[in-house]
Structure 1
Amino acid sequence: MNCIYMHFLNFDPPNTNPVSLYLVFSVIAAYFILLMVISYFTSRNSSDESFFTGDRESPWFLVAFGMVGAGLSGVTFVSVPGMVGNNFLFFFQFVLGNVVGYLFITFVLVPLYYRMRLVSIYSYLNERFGRYTYKTGSLIFLISQSFGAALRLLLAAKILQFAFFDRVGIPFFITVIIILLLVWLYTNKTGIKTIVWTDTMQTMFLITGAVVTIYSITQSLDLSFAGSIRAVTEHEYFQVFSWDGQSGNNFYKQFIAGILIAIAMMGLDQNMMQKTLTCKNQWDAQKNTLTYSMILAATQFLFLGLGVLLYIYAENNGITLPVGPEGQFLDTDTLFPALALNHLGLVAGISFLLGIIAASFSSVDSALTALTTSFTYDFLDISKKTGNEKKKYKNWVLIGFSVVLFLIIMAFSESRGDVISLIFNVAGYTYGPLLGLFLFGMFTTVKTKDRFVPMVCISAPVLTYFLSWYCASKFDFNFGFISIAVNGTLTILGLLLIRRKVIIES
């Protein structure tokens, strides 16, 4: 395996024209203007509920395609190709689990949400358990989504910082503020109604960026279509399945974690389900989730194949990445940006920029809308407010969560490694209690002592962390992404300990 070293700031590009400063600015400006045009047309004839429900008129196929952009974000666009150097294609085991998880979402959760006509999906917990559980579930989402959205935006912001803002002397924190301000400008009025359409455009740019990069690499390496497939499948990194029981990449750990994290991060996530609930009816929503799962799986495999090609290109051109003390690559998230912007020519550079700009906005616009919806409905009881009150509360909450995302991004701004692993590891701790609450609620008729639920939801992730540390240090057994299963199980056991003897009638 070649030793690879590269960093944004000291990367020495070859004599292929890197994307110019003025061109970068033009692309950013043109993209933002396009978003504002979409926002203008979608905001016409909007109601007080448009921000939260999209007036429940969204075409299902449009929602499905647009959700791919939000599901991928800059993490898949940059981090998945980069992680191939350390994890080969083992991530696809996780993706296969996702597909199974989406079946549960389609045939169990979507009918439940439509039957109850939910705006905030955490209202279910109020009906099933009580006020404390309801508020706890919503708070878990707010924490989980804030960290997830911030980490996704962090990666995209760093790339835009390298490509443009550093070159004009703008510090990183100003870059983040600019991105959040631009997002606020086009989502402020109609929220999810606008995002359904903008996410569709963003998905198109994300996928186009990957396809153009693949084409540029194959042309540079003088590979035919068949030759590029052969080069990828015969490379040492093309390993999809791992059967090492102690490894965090073990197939069963990855597959089971893929199922559970899909249910938690999509089916129990206000961000993703809010888009689904804008469909006209339950059948359209189910078609949406099934179509979304297939497109997402295919796209993620495309990005993994792109990752192998990027490393092949780097090896053939003597490009190197820093290596850690245990032989693992560091800063793998820099591989794709540096090659696209400095090595693969103008067309690939522009396509990459459009893709990462799309990722920047798609990763944060729907997250801010979902956070605003959840907080205003679950904590401010906005459904009982008048039109002007709704607007005032919504605006202040949207600004508040923009500040929260900014603070989290700055706290993690010096982190290294692939962001996608960090996101799913964090999700194992933050979404685990939410998974346990919903599964316990749907598949048992047991009532709990509602006021003790917050204690269970705090204890479960703490115990999961110490169990993970103990197993790794004493038995060299890595939980990997499966920590969400441990966390959810501990939550269910905790709920059983605080059960009441009264049984809900079937």
Structure 2
Amino acid sequence: MSPIALLGFVLGYFLLLLWVAWRTSRRADNDSFFIGNRRSHWGLVAFGMVGTSLSGVTFISVPGTVTTGGFTYLQIVLGHVLGYLIVAFVLLPLYYRLALTSIYRYLAERFGSTSHRTGAGYFIVSRTLGATARLYLVVRVLQDMVLDRLGVPFWLTAAVIILMIVLYTYEGGVKTIVWTDTLQTAGMLAGLLICVGFLLWQLGLTPAGALAQMQQDGVATVFGTDPLGADFWAKQVLAGVFIAVAMTGLDQEMMQKNISVTTLRDAQKNVIVMSLVLLAVVALFLFLGGLLVQYAATVGLVASGDRLFPAVVLGHLPGWVQILFIVALISALFPSADGALTALTSSTCIDLIGLQQKAHWSEARRTRLRKQVHLGFALLFLLLVLGFRWLDDPSMVGLILKLAGYTYGPLLGLFAFGLLCRRQPREGWVPLVALAAPLLCALLDATQAHWLGGYRIGLELLLINAALTAAGLWLASLGRPPKRIQPVQPA
């Protein structure tokens, strides 16, 4: 299909998002931006969060993982379901009891202001790197499929897409993205289902027949059985539990939407429903990956990893499927990027600048600062996307999970220590501990081949990082009396 026509559909989709943003952001204030005035419907939040959790990385990278790892990524998602139960029945009751706007305010209540800023700082680093890595992947695919053929440079593509995101999140924040994420999740899932159906028709297979063929070809393996391997099922499931806790329950972007729901009970329903839908959707993405492998073999296409899905669609499928692919890809891109931009703005304003404590400031002055921070992060997004272009990792899902292991580990250690232990560390030590733990993990990761023999550290790096953080906090608490902690009310 003509790149001009594809670009036209992208622009039309964006105009629809702008219309939704205009409808939902009227009379929005700072409370609307940060937590949606706590009036979001749990069903909308749950459905929209599926798109936020999946993102363009899932849309492109997860089908591509089938070429090398089969269906083993499903092990991680099975762990996610267990982790979301911890989020629903341990963390959400805490956040609602404390009536938090920023979840990192808990660290201030438990340890002090330095710990509060340390936790928020790690979230800002984590979410900035993760969101821009996801954003880069989708921008790269759009560049390869459409914009290169029009002579548009990569930097301009990235700048325009980031400008689009800024335009529809600038006023309404969470109040807007609860609705736009719902629209975009629907677009992404519709594209997924249609692509699966079309490939089944092209291959002349039923779903059961296709799955049987995948099992015969050895690309439908779910569980890794080598205890020394990085994909061993016990390690993957356990890592999935704590990835869900860290990247959802301890992530301001994800929790900002949850605590915008009016009641705790509805927020818990949101998380549980989202986890089950997410499991089904990821399983379908892996099934799509198996179909792509089979189709590529029938047409003699050699492609793997992140390039498999775009190569099949661009080179071998009809124009109307290319349109659906582009719309679904954009739908997968925006829920992750818009929520990240909003959450980073919120955390910086609330946790680092202390906007809510500046009661002497006028609403206009606070709004002006919030918008300046929002634009600042948009510029940072652009610079980092260009940096990922230079790096050009062949499998972004692996890179993102690796980054999460380093940057969410200290957050997981801080919250776990605060919830499970009554000790009170010396607060001046907290930033040092939070910095030392990932540095030690990096050293361990770099030297593991020399002293771990055949064992390979995989996603359990997150747990090691959290354990080192908690151990450092325990050492920093020696000789100090325990803190009296008010118990969390049951869910």
TM range (shorter): over 0.9
User: Quick one: which amino acid aligns to residue 24 of structure 2?
Assistant: T
- Tell me which residue corresponds to 1:333: 306
Tell me the matched-pair count: 479
Partner of 2:488: none
Contact 2:211 2:220 in 1 (8 A): no
2:383 alignment partner in structure 1: 407
Select which of 361, 367, 377 maps to 2:350. Answer: 377
- Whether 2:223 is the aligned partner of 1:241: answer yes
User: Is the 2:124–2:344 contact (alpha carbons within 8 Å) kept by the matching residues of 1?
Assistant: yes
Alignment match of 2:428 (pick from 451, 466, 470) = 451
SS at match of 1:481: coil
Match of 1:433 in 2: 410
User: Are 2:41 and 2:261, in contact at CA under 8 Å, matched by a contact in 1?
Assistant: yes
Distance in 2 separating the partners of 1:69 and 1:284:
19
Identity %: 41
* Alpha-carbon distance, 1:311 to partner: 0.4
Q: Is the 8 A contact 2:253 2:343 kept in 1?
A: yes
User: How far off its partner does 1:142 sit?
Assistant: 0.3
Preserved contact between residue 213 and residue 340 of structure 1 (Cα < 8 Å):
no
TM-aligned CA deviation for residue 367 of structure 1: 0.2
| Alignment of structure 1 residues 101-500 onto 2, 5 Å | 101-321=83-303, 332-383=305-356, 384=358, 385-414=361-390, 415-474=392-451, 475-499=453-477, 500=479
**2:48–2:335 contact (8 Å) kept in structure 1:** no
Name the aligned partner's letter for residue 249 of structure 2.
Answer: G
What's the CA shift for 1:22?
2.3
Structure 2 distance, partners of 1:287, 1:71, is: 16
SS in 1 for 2:397: helix
Aligned-partner SS, 2:143: helix
Give how far 1:224 is off: 2.9
How far is the alpha carbon of 1:337 from its aligned partner? 1.0
Question: Is the 8 Å Cα contact of residues 86 and 245 (structure 2) preserved in structure 1?
Answer: yes
- Alpha-carbon distance change, 448 to 37 in structure 1, aligned in 2, over 3 angstroms: same
Q: What is the alpha-carbon distance in structure 2 between the residues aligned to residue 376 and residue 472 of structure 1?
A: 43
Flag as ranges the 4+ runs of structure 1 deviating above 4 A: none
Write the distance in 1 (CA, Å) between the matches of 2:147 and 2:333.
14
CA distance in 2, matches of 1:291, 1:122: 25
Residues 120 and 30 from structure 1, CA distance in 2 versus in 1: closer, same or farther, beyond 3 angstroms? same
Moved more, 474-483 or 61-70: 474-483
Equivalent position amino acid for 1:245 in 2: P
1:95 deviates by 0.6
Instruction: Give deviations 1:86-142, integer Å, cap 9, x for gaps.
Output: 111111111111110000000000010011111111010001001111111000000
Residue aligned with 2:480, SS: strand
Partner of residue 63, structure 2: 81
Q: Distance in 2 between matches of 1:350 and 1:246?
A: 44
In the alignment, is the contact (CA less than 8 A) between 2:26 and 2:172 conserved in 1? no
Deviation digits for residues 394-417 of structure 1 (CA, Å, limit 9, x no counterpart): 111011111111121111213232
> Partners in 2 of 1:451 and 1:159 — Cα distance?
45
Per the TM alignment, residue 340 of structure 1 is displaced from its structure 2 partner at its CA by 1.5
Which residue matches 1:42? 24
Structure 2: how far apart are the matches of 1:350 and 1:233?
A: 31
User: Which one is further off, 209-218 or 120-129?
Assistant: 209-218
CA contact (8 A) 2:3 2:147 kept: no
CA displacement at 1:310 relative to structure 2: 0.2
Give the C-alpha shift of residue 239 in structure 1: 0.3
Q: Distance in 2 between matches of 1:416 and 1:378?
A: 32
Question: Alignment partner of 1:182: what SS?
Answer: helix
How far apart are 1:268 and its partner, in Å? 0.2
The answer for the alignment partner of 1:13 in structure 2 is: none
User: 1:216 deviation in Å?
Assistant: 1.3
Structure 2 match to 1:12: none
3-state secondary structure, aligned to 1:469: helix
Partner in structure 2 of residue 501 of structure 1 = 480
Contact 1:81 1:306 in 2 (8 A): yes
Q: Which runs of 5+ in 1 are unaligned?
A: 1-18, 322-328
Return 206-215 or 135-144, whichever deviates more.
206-215
TM-score calculated relative to the size of structure 1:
0.93
Gaps of 5+ in 2: 486-491
Distance apart, 1:392 and its partner CA: 0.7
Paired amino acid for 2:139: A
Q: Which residue of 2 aligns with 1:4?
A: none
Where 1:195 maps in the other structure, the secondary structure is helix
The answer to whether the 8 Å contact 1:342/1:349 transfers is: no
Deviates most, 237-246 or 429-438: 237-246
- Give the whole-Å Cα distance in 1 for the aligned partners of 2:12 and 2:417: 48
C-alpha displacement of 1:50: 0.6
> How far apart are the structure 2 equivalents of 1:200 and 1:338?
28
Amino acid at match of 1:465: A
| Kept after mapping to 2: 8 A contact 1:433/1:460 | yes
Opposite residue 280 of structure 1, the aligned amino acid is T
Distance in 1 of aligned mates of 2:268 and 2:48: 15
Deviation at 1:184, TM superposition (A): 0.6
Deviation at 1:391, TM superposition (A): 1.1
The residue number in structure 2 matching 1:3 is: none
2:424 is paired with a residue of what secondary structure? strand
Contact 1:202 1:358 in 2 (8 A): yes
Distance in 2 between the 1:397 and 1:47 partners? 16
1:45, distance to aligned residue in structure 2 (A): 3.3
